[in-house]
Amino acid sequence: MLRPLLDAFWSENVWLPPNETWADLTPGPDKEVAYTNHRHVLFPIPMALVFIALRFLMENYVFAPFGRSLGIKEGRNKKCPSNPKLETAYRAAPNTKKLAALAKKVDMTERQVERWWRLRRSQDKPTTLVKFCENAWKCTFYVCNFVFGILILWDKPWLWDIDQAYIGYPHQGVTNDIWWYYMVSSAFYWSLTLSQFWDVRRKDFWQMFVHHLATIALLSFSWVCNLHRIGTLVLLVHDCADIFVEAVKATKYANYQRTCDTLFLGLIFTWITTRIVIYPYYIIWSTTIRAPMLLPMFPAYYIFNSLLCLLLALHIVWTWLILQIAYKAIYAGKMDGDIRSSSEMSDSSNRSSNGTPARANNKKDT
């Protein structure tokens, strides 16, 4: 019964250029090039579990001790008194309109209930050390992955001439280094998608969730359709700016204000150069304008290009947030906010997603 649905889903008219068949692109010893295997898009899922385990080890045995050596606080926030009725109301999302009725129900004043809620929200907030470890882990990965990407792409013709990403398509072979670059990158984004539900919850939770899903979809689409050349360029452009994003946060939590300010300037330059200039005017321009000149279009390609445009829309939103923080930093004399997102969400009253930059608590200048 599923065979007609699977055949319709994997229709060659959707996924492949005209006059191409799956048999033409199936890997085999008789083929002139090593084609991508569409079944390999599942490999990153178990690899993501390895990343999650590696992250646990790195955060607990490397980044946490390092953070403590920098003087980052790890003590838990003050616990609020136990109150089952208030706890039930808190988990159901506090409603200020029913505050008077709730205060009467628990035999407390409205001010006492408000104070309890504030303590309860503070109790849920992750410690500065936890946030530092999360950003240190991400920064470490992006540095390693960016360096790996530079090393393997340096001798690839499409890094220097983007038209080479389309010339000869779809009969373009994939090398072992490109295979690992794709699998490792996909696995990392799968791990972020899974861990996002227990990580530090920020106000751009859903934007990041959409970003991770769009990235995974892009990697999967480009792999299945043998568009791995343009996919590697997208990965390289993204990893470059993400290094600064996570480094700025980590140094902010460590109270290295001058280092944070310097990295923030590097972030603004790198972000705008890669995400707002190179990405739309070089990569998306090539996929939208140059690609139709060099190869016949097909439905899956339009889906792939739409996902690239979705990422650009997210870039524009985050650029606006970063520029807002930069504008405030000019008057404050230092970077004071959470890059690419607002402050962490730790209570159910803050579960809605918005893009308002928030103040950070670390203000010590080192």
Q: Which residues of 82-118 are buried (b: 16+ CB within 10 A; e: fewer)?
A: eeeebeebbeeebeeeebeebbeeeebeeeebeebbe
More confident residue, 4 or 223: 223
Q: Give pLDDT, residue 362.
A: 41
Instruction: Kindly indicate the confidence band of residue 92, based on its pLDDT and cuts at 50, 70 and 90.
Output: low
pLDDT, tens only, 14-58: 888 888 888 888 888 888 888 888 889 999 999 999 999 999 999
Q: Is it the case that residue 344 has pLDDT exceeding 50?
A: no
Q: Where are the chain's structural domains?
A: 39-70+128-350, 84-124
Report the alpha-carbon distance of residue 288 to residue 10 in Å, rounded.
Answer: 24
Query: What DSSP string runs through 281-294?
Result: IIIIHIIIIIHHHH
pLDDT of residue 130 exceeding 60, the answer is yes
Task: Report the candidate in 62, 48, 339, 354 with the shortest Cα–Cα distance to residue 196.
Answer: 48
Q: Is the pLDDT of residue 345 over 80?
A: no
Average pLDDT, the chain: 82
Tell me which of 335 and 294 has the higher pLDDT: 294
pLDDT digit string (tens) for 216-239? 988 998 998 899 999 999 999 999
- Judged against a pLDDT cut of 60, whether residue 162 lies above it is answered with yes
Query: Which comes out higher in pLDDT, residue 85 or 149?
Result: 149
Judged by average pLDDT, the poorest of 196-200, 322-326, 356-360 is 356-360
Q: What is the amino acid identity at position 293?
A: M
Phi and psi for 10 in degrees, rounded to 5?
Answer: -90, 30
Task: Give bridge partners of residue 344 from the DSSP assignment.
Answer: 202
Give pLDDT, residue 107: 73
pLDDT band at 183 (very low <50, low <70, confident <90, very high): very high
For 341, the 3-state DSSP assignment is coil
Name the one residue in this structure whose structure tokens are 């990153």: 44
Give the model confidence (pLDDT) of 184-200 as tens digits: 999 999 998 888 777 76
Backbone angles phi, psi at 119, to 5 degrees: -65, -40
Distance CA 155, CA 161 (A): 11
pLDDT tens string 259-300: 998 999 999 999 999 999 999 999 999 999 999 999 999 998
Which residues neighbour 33 within 8 Å (Cβ) at sequence distance 6 or greater?
171, 172, 173
> How would you classify the pairing of strands 344-345 and 201-202?
antiparallel
